[in-house]
Structure 1
């Protein structure tokens, strides 16, 4: 006899009915605060509401200066004090209209719109997810394999933290410009990329996957790194001495016994998207935020969360408390970019990323984070690089990289990360034409992607 309980389906349908009866109401207040715009959101409560609201505001590149959150009972109420990325109040234009459309009655379910930043669709390209142990030259090898397999990288984002790497790469077929759907070809791509990611020191194992449907890039990167346990440190995954990742945020976790909550307090230097990162992690850890106060009006940010596990219980053990601390520390540090920011903007072409990252590796640079985008026929890429030994990048190395890449690509250094540059050097030593006679060819030869090392010009 089969015992079927429809309770889960009934609860889900009831939640949808309540949501249709009480859609999100969004109010944009430009009067109350002289320095910021107030965005007030209230609706019937459902799990994940806070993350979805914060995600929409983050996708619009808004800075959250203050926030007051309450979702006890069946109602969800948030007040956000926001500015644009330059610290100004929002103007009465398309930005506020977009907020209303995304979060209000027409948005229906807090879902980010198709045009939102960070959202990609499988109907436009094929999405590849990679996780594994980070090492010098890894990104160069990944892009080299994709180039040899006739895959064009149209966008990518790569994060590294605690010696782990997670990346989402969007590709199309080099010849047709369409998504790659052939199962045999996808299987070969996954197999070769997995071979690249695997190594003798990777005790946790590398993973490759082809995602289906759409994904929010940075939301998914948090999930990948959390699943890969980047919050753990062991004898194989050590933080380099002098690394900024060694500076921990201050996180405290205590139980509020009389009210049945766990109270989490976090203090760290403020930066864009900080609230999104911490709420992502609490959600991934299966915690619900019932109340929260956020203050980020100075150089430091303060976040206080009253949480319970999805089973309704507060944190019940010291091991769980320590895990929350470590995971929130990781959430804060994943997006903190170490090293020098190099911005490359120029004409896009097949194999560009393979060539550029190969030049980085040949000049002793390791990529700690990367954002790759294509706008029409223009490649707009940003790389954060450090010396392979973990030291600050020397100005002469930057000049060598600039000369090797050529005039069609501009290399811009972030002025906040470097104070001076050496005089421009004459082109020589490195060029895209003569760069490839090195050990990377042996690697590709072993994969069967080239017939002999001497055949690569």
Structure 2
């Protein structure tokens, strides 16, 4: 009997058709391959900024990226991330898994949306949406307290606020509403508020003020909730604001950059190295530093905002230390052209890594919300010689939840008993105190892997789709 030969059908044919014709993004969650991590795989049509959007979704869900492989050649974007939850375990909650797929997958052809607490608030109650303002300027002890007091005097209710201080620069994003009606502030009154806050920012005690320095003192209204407000997170905006006032130009604090190894005097600094790959036309950037949450977000954010496109990347963490390798080009298609361009990228990445690092004391305060509460709390901190280097302010119903990273303005260690005594001055407030210290590395060995391993694995993957005909 004559043998009948049926045409070969690739079992992945349906998926391939879906990938070609839509939807434009697929997300696979693998909980079986690894014992301690969940694997998130993303395949999508590539676009500038897509990697940042994916990383932001994972970051917003409080997931830690322990390893990552990225490739976006040939107009197709392929990512593999090893992620863990806040406790360092793989993801077992099906609701979280579903949320990851819905947020990244774009199953209905929608673009990725990484929303902040404020954007969610705005959606739930559009008529009473707060007004977003941005402030940048030269930092000084007590400046955040002065800003809070000025808003209270102007009869503004602070719904949410986030502030970072780095290398004598301050960036703040605040969401304010009218004190009496809790509604959006009209444009005429907003102009008065902006002028008053600008005066506060420029009232520096130093004698080094110059025209160039004064131009960095700025207050402006942010365009929320439409447009970039719903897709650009507050933390990314803080990166952009500090980048705009060139916080990377100031001498870096060695206390933030140096990592001491356990059991020895050897020191490690944050290291950023750049070189050009002439054969492929890439610039290669390697980052080695202390590992922490949101590290990949901070570095990818910087590349994106500096108009660089990431074509390949590998990230890994081992023994409390992180290694990242990026193959990039400028959006105009060129690798680094000059030494000054390389130097600027190095400085900007170092600044992005350091901005989030706060050594000292973290104060977490919870109290019944009222107008002027933030002003009163920051005044107590200022009067007791404590400078706020980072702040996250939010209101949840009738409660105000505030987190401050503070340090002594004289540079001395903060007396923890002294902090405890401040509770009496703050009144009926729940106060939790945490000492933020740099973690020691458990091993001096650096675990590194090459981008070549990624490319090889992808070539093998594509090869599996072909069948030899005999």
Query: TM-score normalised to the size of structure 2?
Result: 0.80
**1:381-428: CA deviations, max 9, x gaps?**
11000001122211243133212102x21221115559xxxxxxxxxx
Match of 2:322 among 267, 277, 301: 301
CA separation of 1:20/1:129 partners in 2, compared to 1, >3 Å: closer, same or farther?
Answer: farther
**TM alignment of 1:167-316, pairs within 5 A:** 167-180=172-185, 182-198=186-202, 199=204, 201-202=208-209, 203-204=212-213, 205-214=216-225, 215=229, 216-233=233-250, 243-244=255-256, 248-316=269-337
Q: 1:337 & 1:310 partners in 2: Cα distance? A: 33
Q: 1:222 & 1:268 partners in 2: Cα distance? A: 19
**1:30-73: CA deviations, max 9, x gaps?**
01111100110011111111011001111111000100000012
Q: 2:56 & 2:281 partners in 1: Cα distance? A: 28
Q: 2:195 & 2:180 partners in 1: Cα distance? A: 22
Structure 1 residue runs of 5 or longer lacking an equivalent are 1-17, 419-457
Note if contact 1:256-1:262 (Cα within 8 Å) is conserved in structure 2. yes
Match of 1:141 in 2: 146
Match of 1:410 among 402, 423, 430: 430
CA separation of 1:316/1:283 partners in 2, compared to 1, >3 Å: closer, same or farther?
Answer: same
Q: Please identify, of 210-219 and 246-255, the stretch whose mean Cα deviation from structure 2 is larger.
A: 246-255
RMSD of aligned C-alpha atoms?
Answer: 2.1
Q: Please identify, of 100-109 and 84-93, the stretch whose mean Cα deviation from structure 2 is larger.
A: 100-109
| Secondary structure of the corresponding residue to residue 389 of structure 1 | coil
Match of 2:263 in 1: none
CA separation of 1:119/1:391 partners in 2, compared to 1, >3 Å: closer, same or farther?
Answer: farther
Match of 1:161 in 2: 166
| Secondary structure of the corresponding residue to residue 73 of structure 1 | helix
> Is residue 383 from structure 1 mapped to residue 404 from structure 2 by the alignment?
yes
**1:115-152: CA deviations, max 9, x gaps?**
76886749421101000011001011100010011101
> Is residue 55 from structure 1 mapped to residue 56 from structure 2 by the alignment?
yes
Q: Please identify, of 220-229 and 192-201, the stretch whose mean Cα deviation from structure 2 is larger.
A: 192-201
Match of 2:28 in 1: 27
Match of 2:11 in 1: none
Q: 2:119 & 2:353 partners in 1: Cα distance? A: 19
Note if contact 1:290-1:307 (Cα within 8 Å) is conserved in structure 2. yes
| Secondary structure of the corresponding residue to residue 414 of structure 1 | strand
**TM alignment of 1:74-113, pairs within 5 A:** 74-106=75-107, 108-112=109-113
Match of 1:126 in 2: 131
Q: 2:162 & 2:117 partners in 1: Cα distance? A: 16
Note if contact 1:60-1:117 (Cα within 8 Å) is conserved in structure 2. no
Structure 2 residue runs of 5 or longer lacking an equivalent are 1-18, 260-268, 439-470
CA separation of 1:223/1:115 partners in 2, compared to 1, >3 Å: closer, same or farther?
Answer: closer
Give 1:154 deviation, angstroms. 1.1
Match of 1:454 in 2: none
Note if contact 1:59-1:116 (Cα within 8 Å) is conserved in structure 2. no
CA separation of 1:351/1:51 partners in 2, compared to 1, >3 Å: closer, same or farther?
Answer: same
Give 1:106 deviation, angstroms. 3.5
Match of 2:155 in 1: 150
The number of residue pairs the alignment matches comes to 394
Note if contact 1:342-1:411 (Cα within 8 Å) is conserved in structure 2. yes
Match of 1:340 among 346, 355, 361: 361
Q: 2:245 & 2:121 partners in 1: Cα distance? A: 22
Q: 1:157 & 1:19 partners in 2: Cα distance? A: 42
Q: Please identify, of 154-163 and 112-121, the stretch whose mean Cα deviation from structure 2 is larger.
A: 112-121
Note if contact 1:341-1:417 (Cα within 8 Å) is conserved in structure 2. no
| Secondary structure of the corresponding residue to residue 248 of structure 2 | coil
Q: 1:109 & 1:66 partners in 2: Cα distance? A: 27
Note if contact 2:52-2:297 (Cα within 8 Å) is conserved in structure 1. yes
Looking at both structures, which has the greater relative contact order when contacts are Cα pairs under 8 Å and sequence separation is at least 6? 2
Query: TM-score normalised to the size of structure 1?
Result: 0.82
CA separation of 1:34/1:153 partners in 2, compared to 1, >3 Å: closer, same or farther?
Answer: same
Note if contact 1:101-1:107 (Cα within 8 Å) is conserved in structure 2. no
Note if contact 1:339-1:368 (Cα within 8 Å) is conserved in structure 2. no
| Secondary structure of the corresponding residue to residue 81 of structure 2 | strand
